[in-house]
Amino acid sequence: AQSVTQLGSHVSVSEGALVLLRCNYSSSVPPYLFWYVQYPNQGLQLLLKYTTGATLVKGINGFEAEFKKSETSFHLTKPSAHMSDAAEYFCAVTFTGGGNKLTFGTGTQLKVEL
């Protein structure tokens, strides 16, 4: 079975500071990893995905994530936080042959302060 653990249910940063949201996965087969963002009362929007190939993936809104197999991690970063980044972020995992079903983490609420 696959699982995702997101460390820190709430993260607070100052505007302009580095954003680091942590995600560790567990999978017995090569994983496909995703980060989604959710704004209040809305659905989930894809930020970025790792399938195969380059381990550093860039997404929308200046976010990027690095797949580290040795650490079973897929942390999300952004060099400089903006007020509009305040939202909930979800890491998710799936695998080939899994029906494209995503298993989500419990989410990290990002707060950006002036």
Partner 1 sequence: DTGVSQNPRHKITKRGQNVTFRCDPISEHNRLYWYRQTLGQGPEFLTYFQNEAQLEKSRLLSDRFSAERPKGSFSTLEIQRTEQGDSAMYLCASTEETTGAPNSPLHFGNGTRLTVT
Which residues make up the interface to partner 1 (CB under 8 A)?
A: 4, 9, 32, 34, 36, 41-46, 49, 51, 90, 92, 94-107
CA 15, CA 45: separation in Å to the nearest integer?
Answer: 22
| Residues 32, 96: Cα–Cα separation, whole Å | 8
Rounded to a whole number of angstroms, the minimum distance from the CB of residue 45 to partner 1 is: 7
Closest distance between partner 1 and the C-beta of residue 42, in Å? 5
Q: Do 112 and 15 contact (CB within 8 A), yes or no?
A: yes
Which residue intervals of the chain are DSSP H helices?
Answer: none
- With respect to partner 1, which residue has the nearer C-beta, 62 or 107? 107
Q: How far is the CB of 96 from partner 1 (least distance, A)?
A: 5
